[in-house]
Copies of this chain bind each other. A is one copy, B any other.
Amino acid sequence: MVVKVASVQDAARFPGLPLHPRTLKAFQSEFDLSPEALCTRMLQRHRDTIRTQKPHVAVARLVRIVQTTLALSNRKGFHSMSLRHLATASGLSMGALYTYFDSKDTLLLMILGEVSGAVSATLGSPPAALSEDPGKRLRWLLETHVYLTETMQPWFQFAYMEAKAFPKEGREKARRSELATEALIADALADGVRRGRFSAANVELTASLIKPLLQDWYVKRGKYRRRGVLPEQYVEAVTTFVENAILPRGQHGTRP
C-alpha cells in the first residue's frame, strides 16, 4: 500500500500558525508504531491463541486483518462488521481468520491492547530533563499525544468508539488508560501552579478540558484533513490555546 504523506513545507497556507520545532517525522523515528511493528508485538502477546506457527506469515496476516478491521469498523461500527465481510475484504477465509483469534471479542481486545500499550510506551516515559520545567513538560505531553494519535489514528478512533460497547475487560482497560492520560496532564498543571507558572482555579477540571482537545484530533481526523490542517499546526494551535488559557495574570504572551 502506498501512503501519501504531506510534506511539512506544504503548511504555508496558514501564516498565523508557525510550524512546531519537533516534527511528526522526528516522533515517528523515535518510536516504531508501524502496523508491522504493532502486529509483531500483538503476535508475541497472543502466542497461545494464535495457531499459526511461522512468525512472518502470522504478522503479515495480522496486518491485513487488523487494517481491514479498523477500516470497516471505523466506517460502520465493529458490531456491524460481519466476519464474512472481514474475510472477503481482507482476502482470507472464515477459517483462516479463526487461526488468529478465538472469538470476535478477542479480536477487539487484541487491538485495544496494542493501543494502550502504545500509550504507555510513548507518554509513559517523558525525558527526565523535563521534570523541572512544567511548561516544557506540558508542551511535550500535548505534542507527543497528537503525534502518537496521528500515527495510529485508526487505532485510536476505534478504541474511542468501540471500547464502551464491549466486554468488561475492554471497557475498564480503556477507562484506566484515559484517566492515566488525564492524570499526566493534571500532574504537569499542578506542578506549574505550585511553581507559579500556571494559573488554574481547579487543576482536575482544567485537565479534563484539555483532554477533549487532544481527542478531537483523532476522533474528527477527517474534518481536519478536509481543512488542510497538518499535525504540526494542530499541536501549535492547541499549545497556544492552552498556554494562554492557563497563563497567570500579568504574564500574558511571554512564551520563550
Contact = CB atoms under 8 A, between A and B. Distances in A.
A213 to B, nearest CB: 6
Interface in A50-88: 75-77, 79-80
A181 to B, nearest CB: 13
A contact residues, range: 35 or more
Nearest to A227: B204
A177 interface: no
A101 to B, nearest CB: 19
A92 interface: no
B237 A206 contact: yes
A11 interface: no
How many copies of this chain does one complex carry? 2
A193 to B, nearest CB: 11
Contact of A229 (B165, B205, B213, B229): B205
A17 to B, nearest CB: 6
A249 B75 CA distance: 43
A90 interface: no
A14 interface: yes
A247 interface: yes
Interface string A227-256: 101000100011011101111011011000
A223 interface: yes
Interface in A11-36: 14, 16-17
